[in-house]
Amino acid sequence: MQSFRTELENPIVEKDIIDLEKKIRDFREGKIHDEKFRSLRLARGVYGQRQPGVQMVRIKLPFGKVTFKQLLRIADISDKYASHNLHLTTRQDIQIHYVSLDRTPQLWAELAQDDITLREACGNTVRNVTSSPTSGIDPLEPFDVSPYAHATFEYFLRNPICQEMGRKFKIAFSSSEADTAFSYIHDVGLIPKINSNNERGFKVMLGGGLGAQPILASIVEEFLPEDQLIPYIESIIRVFDRYGERNNRNKARMKYLIQKIGLDEVLRLAKIERIANKVKSYTVNRDTIALPFIPELTQYPAVEITNPLHYEQWLATNVFEQKQQGFYGVYIKVPVGDIATDNARKLVDAIKPYVADEIRITQNQGLLLKFAKKEALPALFKGLAELGFAEPGFDSVADVTTCPGTDTCNLGISNSMTLSRVLEEVIYAEYEDLIYNRDIKIKISGCMNSCGQHGLAHIGFHGSSLKAGTKVLPSVQVLLGGGTVGNGVGRAAEKVIKVPAKRATHVLRAVLDNYKQHSIEDETFHNYYDRQGKDYFYQLLKPLADLTTLTDDEFVDWGHEETFATAIGVGECAGVVIDLVATLLYESEEKMGWANESYNNGAWSDAIYHSYNVFISSAKALLLDKGVNSSTQAGIIKEFDANYVETGLIDLNGTFNDLVLQINKNEPSEEFATTYKALAVDFLNTVKTKREEVLQS
């Protein structure tokens, strides 16, 4: 690959991009092991696709905010490097597909010109910090959480404590007790509160997650003062980094650490870590997120609404009055979250005269426009309708959330994208009155991992397979009864039955017809489901699981013509762990370089944490020589003492535990950074010497 030169104003971003290019070159030349390189590129937003030789690039958009200029830049990038399409995700990112690995540094450099990053969009890092898309305009919000979400994103981006964790870590801010950012399924979920003294703070949920085994978060703080928000999250992440699982990625999330050692122990350890935090109090600048540019039009073009019913439906389901008097928020329903780049450009042209220069991506893969005046709504509707962006029923039964499934994902089992479109067609054609129903959410994932959030759906489906004799057919697991209750409380959907994928439409009809017929007036779906009970729905749907009545077309998945065959690749939702001794020692040298760089810049806390990682990587390298592969950093510390210090193979004038864990017994001062870094250098040299002895013995 050819080198390129960047001309970015931000030297930190430029260094990131140049480093990615160097890592790709080293990988091509065989200097970096394939699995190590995978973790490196994932942390830079580059994810392997189902199709060989191409990548999905995830663009990180904190709390889903994107300007007109940024959206146009991303569209241009997709045309130049990808497939002329933008995919909106449930975590408020934008993904583009079919990108050549060698072109990703240049792609990133061009995105960075408009302050867009790929950094830590994937991998074992703090993922995109999400928030309710309505934050800032929500009539129910105590205050705007956007500045707090932005501060959290900035604080943990490139932060040494969260660059190589055992798994990903997800943070979400809801704008109100309605909890539209789903705090209860996040590692840390936050809901804004104002106490009796009119002080700002947050209700804190900890340890939630979906995936194959959904676990709902625990409420750990009813009111955390706003200046303690970031220090609190930092302490939790430090505990997760040290004690979290690293070998078995299926047990490596925060929720499993809480299961393993208990919530009280996690909170106790977090209190211990506070002394090592970079900050003990962090004042968030409430003015960070400036009010977007709002068009100053006072006269709007007269337009003829040719379909008044459609317009009234759109007003009722896609438009709401903001907390700012005289302005309206407008939702755009985006089927399967896909926007062709040409349509993205036309969309910007259509909306620019009428709304503020700030779009928010929503958790159900749509868009939110802000600060539209009432008089502008007819012209805005007409412009959106001409592009197919004025379908009513945003966030209703007719607005199905889905992941990409087998279209591009390695882990996809069945085609969730086409199924989503088919189910929406059923709603519009047969249940049009339900476009006003926001009580019921339908969500689909291509596998059990819940990227389409089926685990929190009222009616959920995830891709699977069934065996009929010697043949395999695509199927869906049906889940019912999940969803948001409010104020940090949620419900995980229950698995009810598995049916052939082509019968998913019949499942939907059966459930909705039964709900219409047997629900009590004004009864929520949750209450209806609880009153009937899981077995009731199993019996209702059981005839659809009968495999003796299969037809030939049921062996073909939605959107396909060929007979179904399971072809699941290796997932890359997080980086894999490398257990190669030489690689670990190489990493230790690299981390020592980062420690020196941070130290020279006066970043004492960063220098200390990089030094801590030198201790851990170096110790793990020697343990592998003895066949000891501990699954946590805390385990590495313990095993190193047992195998090297207590046996007299290495003399540290004390225990390795006491040496390393000075990190959480000292303030991050220049004096301690100087001492601790020097100890890490000595330890690395000791390990390298011991390693040479092993090789020569």
Complete domains list, the chain, with CATH = 11-112 (3.90.480.20), 130-276 (3.30.413.10), 308-386 (3.30.70.3340), 401-555 (3.30.413.10), 581-696 (1.20.120.330)
* Spatial distance between the Cα atoms of 212 and 100, rounded to a whole number of angstroms: 31
- Indicate whether 338 pLDDT > 60: yes
Predicted pLDDT of residue 411:
75
- Indicate whether 59 pLDDT > 80: yes
Q: Which residue has the tokens 């002895």?
A: 693
Predicted pLDDT of residue 81:
96
578 pLDDT tier (thresholds 50, 70, 90)? very low
Q: How far is CA 353 from the centre of its chain?
A: 32
* 511-518 contacts at long range (C-beta below 8 A, 24 or more positions apart): 511/459, 511/480, 511/537, 511/540, 511/541, 512/397, 512/431, 512/434, 514/540, 515/440
Tens digits of residue pLDDT in 599-652: 999 999 999 999 999 999 999 999 988 889 999 999 999 999 999 999 999 999
Q: Answer yes or no: are the C-beta atoms of 86 and 75 closer than 8 Å.
A: yes
In the chain, pLDDT over 70 holds for what percent of residues? 96
- Indicate whether 2 pLDDT > 60: no
407 pLDDT tier (thresholds 50, 70, 90)? confident
Q: What is the 3-state secondary structure (H, E, C) of 516-570?
A: HHHCCCCCCHHHHHHHHCHHHHHHHHHHHHCHHHCCHHHHECCCCCCECCCCCCC
- Indicate whether 406 pLDDT > 60: yes
Predicted pLDDT of residue 697:
62
In the DSSP assignment, the letter for residue 641 is I
144 pLDDT tier (thresholds 50, 70, 90)? very high
661 pLDDT tier (thresholds 50, 70, 90)? very high
Which comes out higher in pLDDT, residue 679 or 408? 679
* Spatial distance between the Cα atoms of 377 and 657, rounded to a whole number of angstroms: 65
* 79-82 contacts at long range (C-beta below 8 A, 24 or more positions apart): 79/341, 80/107, 80/110, 81/57, 81/106, 81/107, 82/57
Predicted pLDDT of residue 571:
52
- The first and second tokens of residue 435, run together, are 């476009």
- Indicate whether 572 pLDDT > 70: no
User: What burial class does residue 173 get, using C-beta atoms within 10 Å of its C-beta: 0-12 exposed, 13-18 middle, 19+ buried?
Assistant: buried
413 pLDDT tier (thresholds 50, 70, 90)? confident
Predicted pLDDT of residue 1:
46
Range in 70-79, 381-390, 504-513, 618-627 with the lowest mean pLDDT: 618-627
Tens digits of residue pLDDT in 148-163: 999 999 999 999 999 9
* Spatial distance between the Cα atoms of 451 and 454, rounded to a whole number of angstroms: 8
- Indicate whether 434 pLDDT > 90: yes
* Spatial distance between the Cα atoms of 210 and 206, rounded to a whole number of angstroms: 13
Q: Which residue has the tokens 């390393």?
A: 660
Average pLDDT over the chain reads 93
Mean pLDDT value across residues 648-672:
96
Predicted pLDDT of residue 10:
80
Report the relative pairing of strands 319-321 and 200-206 from DSSP bridges.
unpaired
Q: Answer yes or no: are the C-beta atoms of 191 and 183 closer than 8 Å.
A: yes
Residues 6+ apart with CB under 8 A from 540: 510, 511, 514
In the chain, pLDDT over 90 holds for what percent of residues? 80
- Indicate whether 304 pLDDT > 70: yes
Predicted pLDDT of residue 566:
63
User: What burial class does residue 516 get, using C-beta atoms within 10 Å of its C-beta: 0-12 exposed, 13-18 middle, 19+ buried?
Assistant: exposed
User: At 131, which helix (H) or strand (E)?
Assistant: strand 130-131
Report the relative pairing of strands 188-194 and 459-468 from DSSP bridges.
unpaired
- Indicate whether 124 pLDDT > 50: yes
In the DSSP assignment, the letter for residue 216 is P
Mean pLDDT value across residues 218-234:
98
Tens digits of residue pLDDT in 23-52: 898 888 887 777 778 878 888 889 888 888
User: What burial class does residue 469 get, using C-beta atoms within 10 Å of its C-beta: 0-12 exposed, 13-18 middle, 19+ buried?
Assistant: exposed
